[in-house]
Amino acid sequence: MKLLLVEDNAELAHWIVNLLRAESFVVDHVPDAERAESILGNQSYDVALLDMRLPAMSGKELLTRLRRRGDSVPVLMLTAHGSIDEKVDCFAAGADDYVVKPFDARELVARIKALVRRQYAQKGVAAVCGDLHYTFDTREFRYKDEPFLLRRREHAILEALMLRQGKTVSKAMLVESIFSLDDVPSGDAIDIYIHRLRKRLAESTAQIMTLRGLGYILRMRDI
């Protein structure tokens, strides 16, 4: 899953990015609302974390602009004060949740996971494709009731396919899902990761199919 952090405090941003990457999130960071608005117009994120007080354009103003143009990305506001007025301002602008600085690492991660889970609430607590199971709370895969451990980017690709199970996922979307702004994106790398995943799923009833010219789809294997 991919997150966007908009925070102008370099030290705090560094800590948050490292924390979230340790939780296997792909994280992009920008220090101002102007660049964030441009990026959000071109890329998709599972959650955006916006600092309430940013230079030039505030996080609240950015959020208002996003909602006005119909962008429904889940937004977690990072606020410096826990006053009722500021909380009300967050929700009035279209925020989905907020956390007050200084915050505990566990609370931040838990709130992000709650926002992600809310997006897929209609699927229950887990997604299932044959004998492959994915749990939303832990973001873990299980195969035949055993942990199905993957390398970070292989996990990110299988996660993207599982969350869109039965739907075609383009290579461009997978590239966007696993590479951050600091990486050099590679479509060829996607082919390598898909190949590895297919080998790991060779005996599973879940399979990754290629739809030539369109992308990939995760579905149950025909038996």
The tally of domains found in the chain comes to 2
Q: What average pLDDT does range 173-187 have in this prediction?
A: 88
Is the same domain home to 132 and 200?
A: yes
Poorest-confidence range of 43-52, 75-84, 120-129, 146-155? 120-129
Give the pLDDT of residue 183.
86
Q: What average pLDDT does range 169-182 have in this prediction?
A: 91
Q: What count of other Cβ atoms lies within 10 Å of the Cβ of residue 14?
A: 12
pLDDT over 90 percentage in the chain: 65
For 109, 121, 140, 200, the CA distances from 132, given in Å and listed in that order, are: 25, 19, 11, 11
Predicted TM-score of the model (pTM): 0.85
In this predicted structure, the answer to whether residue 174 has a pLDDT above a threshold of 90 is yes
Is the same domain home to 131 and 203?
A: yes
The token pair at 120 is 């897929």
* Phi, psi dihedral angles at 54 (to 5 degrees): -125, 155
Domain finish residue from 85, 119, 153: 119
Reported as a pLDDT band with limits 50, 70 and 90, residue 90 is: confident
Give the pLDDT of residue 223.
63
Domain finish residue from 94, 119, 144: 119
The token pair at 203 is 């005996």
Is the same domain home to 147 and 96?
A: no
Domain of residue 17, CATH code? 3.40.50.2300
Is the same domain home to 41 and 137?
A: no
Q: What average pLDDT does range 58-68 have in this prediction?
A: 93
Q: Measured between alpha carbons, how far is 131 from 158 in angstroms, rounded to an integer?
A: 14
Reported as a pLDDT band with limits 50, 70 and 90, residue 186 is: confident
Range of the domain at 18: 2-119
In this predicted structure, the answer to whether residue 25 has a pLDDT above a threshold of 70 is yes
In this predicted structure, the answer to whether residue 180 has a pLDDT above a threshold of 80 is yes
In this predicted structure, the answer to whether residue 123 has a pLDDT above a threshold of 90 is no
Across the strands, what pairs with 30?
A: 6
Domain of residue 154, CATH code? 1.10.10.10
* Of 214, 190, 217, residue with least CA distance to 206: 217
Is the same domain home to 39 and 85?
A: yes
3-state secondary structure of 48: strand
Domain finish residue from 77, 100, 119: 119
Is the same domain home to 190 and 172?
A: yes
Is the same domain home to 75 and 145?
A: no
Is the same domain home to 115 and 126?
A: no
